[in-house]
Structures are given as C-alpha cells and as structure tokens.
Amino acid sequence: MAQRRTVVDIAAGVSSGALSASAVLEENLAAIGSREKEIHAFNLVTAERARERAAQIDTDVKAGKKVGRLAGVTIALKDNMCTRGVETTCSSKILAGWKPPYDATVVRRLADEGAVFVGKTNLDEFAMGSSTENSAFGPTRNPLDTSRVPGGSSGGSAAAVAAGFAAASFGSDTGGSIRQPAALCGLVGVKPTYGTVSRQGLIAFGSSLDQIGPFSSTVADSALLMEVIAGHDPLDSTSIPQPAPSLLNVLDQGVKGMRIGRITDMPEGSSPDVLARLEAAFEALRGAGAQIVDVKMPSMSFGLTAYYLVAPAEASSNLARFDGVRYGLRVDAKDLNAMYGATRAAGFGDEVKRRIMLGTYALSAGYYDAYYGKALKVRRLIADDFAKAYESCDAILTPTSPTVAFKFGDKTSNPLAMYLCDVFTIPTNLAGHAAMSVPFGTGEAGLPVGVQVLAPALGEAPMFRVAAELERNA
C-alpha cells in the first residue's frame, strides 16, 4: 500500500515550498490508477480540476503569495456534499447527472484554505446503510481486505484515505456513518457536536442528526481539519453562533486528572476482540493518569429503536423533493401521480424505499404518538442519561463498532443485523453530542479496531485530548 502522507505534513511542506502540491497529488492519482478499479472508492475522480488547482497553489507559493492552512492537501468528498458544477449524486439513480449550482459551506471553507479536491466518494444511497453495499453504483471494498466492507455509509471516503487516494476525506454522520467506517478502515473519524459544522449544501438524510466530519490518518490531521470547517454559518439556522474550537493546541496536554467513563450497562453483542481492545484503551488512559469511573446509560439500548423512527421520519420528508419535476431522474407516465410513482420506483433503491415507508408510517395520523412521538421522548431520555453521566466524567469510551470489518453479503439479507452495527454510535447523534473513533490496535484477522470517544456537546477539546492519548498508546 502506498505510503500515506499526513495533512499536517503536506500543509507545512507545500506552504514552505519544501513539497510540491502537484507532486503530492500525482502520488494520490497514481494510487488511484493502480487500485481504484478494485476498491471503487469514488463515484467521480476530478483529476483535471485537481491538477489545475495544485499547479495554481505551487505557483502561488513560488510567487510568495499567502496560501491557506490546507495548501495542497488532497481531499475526497462524500458524494452527498454539493460541489458547484460537479456531479453530486448521493449514489442514487434519482440524482445521477445532477450538478449543483453552489458549493456546500464546508467545501467552500476547505477550498478557501487551499485544499485540492480529488473526487466525490461512494456511499450507501442517501447515506442509508452501514456497509456501502446500498450504493446504486456498486459497493466499495475495504482496502485492508477487499473481501470485506469498508463500513458505511461514508465507505468511499474511508476507503479513499485508507488506500492512499487522498490525504483526508469528509463524510457525513447521521447515526455512525463516519465513525464506523473509520473504525473498519483503521482511521480517525469525527462526528462533531450538532451545529458545530454547517449543514448548508449537505444533502439531508436526517436533518436533526446529520453532521459533516473528517476522516484522517492521525488525530492531529482531524484537529486541523475541524479548525477549518467548524464555526458559525449564517446559512444554517441550526449552526451554533460561535467560532471553531482550538484543537491542535490541546493534543499534547495528556489526560492526567481527566475522568473517563466506562458504561456498566452497555448494550451486549460486541465480539471479544473488540472488547479486549476497549479494555486496553481504558488501561492506557489509566496509565497516562486518567481516572476511570463507572457510569450508567440505561436508555442506550433504546437508541437504535428511536433512531430508526426519527431518522426515517425526517428522511421521508427530506427525500420527497425528488419527484421528477425539477431535476434528476424523470420517468414519464400518463399523469402526474403516475409520473411521481414511476420516477421514485425507478430512482430509489430498496433500503431508501424501506426507510421512506418506515418514516411515512411513523408520522401518519393515528400513528404519530405511538411511534414518532415516543421516539422523541426516548431521545430526551438519552440526552438526560448522558447529562447525568457527564456529571461524573469528562468523556466516555465505548467500542465504535461491535465487530471488525465484515464480509460482503454478511448482513445484506438481514436489515436488523445491519442496523445493529450502529448501536454504539447512534446515541451521540440523538443527543447532538460530539464523538470520534480512534484506531486502537487490531482484532480478528489482523483487522483494525476502533475505540469511540464520546464527549458532551461542545466537548471537542477534551475529546481530542483523549483521542491523542489513545493514539500515542495504540
């Protein structure tokens, strides 16, 4: 596998003139040339745009012009983030060929700091899935073992970094879609506090849960990327009105005196190799001077059920606009209603249809209170449980995924087994808190295991301190 450069090294090297942005890009393009056919991380590789951009940055550096904090950093974007004039499909037939007339706020902020976009990455259609097997354009393979899935829904973004196709990438996390593939591909993946990163230009799945976050090889890389993309955006009403947090400067602070929570009533079903690595992580933090405290999360196991009502309910509304009238796929039929039906039948895959039906049902008159209404109550319970837990600790550790990367087809015939992949990641989204996955050694078949660090809302700084300590001990 190609040697991976870090974001921090590239940015420092390119801006100082020691490293050429074009040379960095060509390394990535060469890796893409040799392995992309097998991996299928991308829906679209924008090599020519990237070459122009990299050349411009090199010219600017030579001319002594000021370049951004991410000068020459190669980045892959999940194909549900709008990129002006560049096809954005959500890995769905219904949006195939659609070119947004605007950039997502995150994309603009990255571009403003000198990032070089390599392409748009594959995902489970509309970010619904945990293996990237639900893409209308075919699955993505895990670069560490191509018989296995990379996780999902941001599987393409995870695979792109793991395979050395880009220095970093971005995904969206509605119930674990960054953290789980990060764990399965041996990467750092961050789900920021809801409202920290603008959702403007992110094609919505579950609007009250979605957040954009980075994939990277190191904790420091994610810290730098977070500093660039976070911070208030007036175009997103749910964006928290405060600047991006300072994270790079907390990485060396260690965890001495920090209180780390261990959930005593954690949902069962994790494999022994994963649980062993979690224990090792607690040991490492204890060794570094942290105090391990027991906390209870009695509502955690209800998270999955609540999530599979809230997210589909919002999705059923968010995806209603794909109706064949204004853009994307249209299948002509005898009248308006028949056109709607034919377009959506042909345009959406099974998992998307399944969730639209679930969500529509949950919101319907006569069922709202029993399903959606109850799910909102569970959501509050989970937030209450977390609030109580954080009275006695600064961060909580759990597995990110119950298992290491699984084989293709293992869970496709059983949607419920697939949904269980997200049992540890979902509660964070329901509470709107921060969480990240950090690689911490290997488990079965030598595959990476990720440990999840949970922190309260706006707890990114303590979360990154813990993550950096784990990385030093991995």
Partner 1 sequence: MSTSTGAAQNPSSVVASAEQLIDGWELVVGLEVHVELATKTKLFSASANRFGDEPNTHIDPVTLGLPGALPVLNRHAVELAMRLGLALNCRVQPCSFHRKNYFYPDLPKAYQISQYDQPLNVDGFLMLPGEVRIGIERAHLEEDTGKSTHFGGAEGRIHGSEYSLIDFNRAGVPLVEIVSRPDIRTSEQAKQYVSELRAILLAVGASDAKMEEGSMRCDVNVSVHKPGTPFGTRCEIKNVNSIRAVGRAIDYEARRQIDIITSGGSIKQQTLHWDDAAGRTNVLRTKEDADDYRYFLEPDLVPLAPDTAWVEQVRSALPPLPAARRETLAKLTGQSKESEAVAVVVERGQDTYLAEVAKVGGDAARALVYVQQAFAEEAASPRVPAGDLAALTLMEKNAKITATQAKTLLAELVANGGGDVIAMAKSKGFEAMDTSALEGLVDAAIAADPDAWAKFKAGEQKAMGALVGAVMKSSKGKADGKAVTALLQAKANA
Identify the bridge partners of residue 396 per DSSP, sorted by sequence position: 261, 454
Which CB, 82 or 158, lies closer to partner 1?
A: 82
Which CB, 336 or 417, lies closer to partner 1?
A: 336
Residue 246 designated active-site: no
Minimum separation from the CB atom of position 383 to partner 1 (A): 15
Q: Give the residue carrying structure tokens 């990163």.
A: 197
CB burial string 130-166: b at 16+ within 10 A, e below: bbbbbbbbebbbbbbbeebbbbbbbbbbbbbbbbbbb
Q: Which of 20, 153, 169, 401 is catalytic?
A: 153
Residue 104 CA to residue 101 CA, distance in Å, equals: 10
Which CB, 76 or 203, lies closer to partner 1?
A: 203
Minimum separation from the CB atom of position 82 to partner 1 (A): 4
Minimum separation from the CB atom of position 50 to partner 1 (A): 22
Q: Which of 22, 130, 177, 401 is catalytic?
A: 177
Residue 163 CA to residue 36 CA, distance in Å, equals: 9
In the 8-state DSSP scheme, what is residue 146?
T
Structure tokens that stand for 115 in this block: 């990032």
Residues 6+ apart with CB under 8 A from 360: 316
User: Are the CB atoms for 106 and 214 separated by under 8 Å?
Assistant: no
Four-point Cα dihedral 325, 331, 335, 337, nearest 10? -70
Angle at 206 between CA 422 and CA 231, to 5 degrees: 95
Which CB, 232 or 259, lies closer to partner 1?
A: 232
Minimum separation from the CB atom of position 134 to partner 1 (A): 18
Which CB, 9 or 79, lies closer to partner 1?
A: 79
Minimum separation from the CB atom of position 328 to partner 1 (A): 9
Which CB, 56 or 317, lies closer to partner 1?
A: 317
Minimum separation from the CB atom of position 303 to partner 1 (A): 18
Which CB, 181 or 206, lies closer to partner 1?
A: 206
Residues that bind partner 1 (CB under 8 A): 81-82, 88, 90, 95, 98, 100-102, 104, 199-204, 206-208, 234-238, 313-314, 316-317, 320-321, 323, 325-327, 335-336, 340, 360, 363-365, 368, 372
DSSP annotation string for 355-415: HHHHHHHHHSTTTTIIIIIHHHHHHHHHHHHHHHHTTT-SEEEEESSSSSPPBTTTTTT-H
Helix (H) or strand (E) holding 189: strand 188-191
User: Are the CB atoms for 451 and 437 separated by under 8 Å?
Assistant: yes
Minimum separation from the CB atom of position 200 to partner 1 (A): 5
Answer whether the bond into residue 239 is a cis peptide, omega within 30°.
no
- Residue ranges of the alpha helices (H) in 410-459? 415-419, 426-431
Which CB, 288 or 333, lies closer to partner 1?
A: 333
Q: Classify residue 206 as exposed, middle or buried by CB count within 10 Å of its CB (0-12, 13-18, 19+).
A: buried
Structure tokens that stand for 200 in this block: 């403007």
Minimum separation from the CB atom of position 360 to partner 1 (A): 7
Q: Which of 78, 120, 191, 411 is catalytic?
A: 78
Residue 153 designated active-site: yes
Which CB, 286 or 321, lies closer to partner 1?
A: 321
Residues 6+ apart with CB under 8 A from 141: 38, 39, 40, 147, 148, 149, 150, 159
Minimum separation from the CB atom of position 16 to partner 1 (A): 36
Query: Which long-range contacts does 411-417 make (Cβ < 8 Å, 24+ apart)?
Result: 411/130, 411/131, 412/131, 412/133, 415/351, 415/354
In angstroms and rounded to an integer, the radius of gyration of the C-alpha atoms of the chain is 21
Does residue 157 sit in helix, strand or coil? helix
Structure tokens that stand for 444 in this block: 């079965």
Does residue 325 sit in helix, strand or coil? coil
Residue 177 designated active-site: yes
Residues with catalytic function:
78, 153, 177
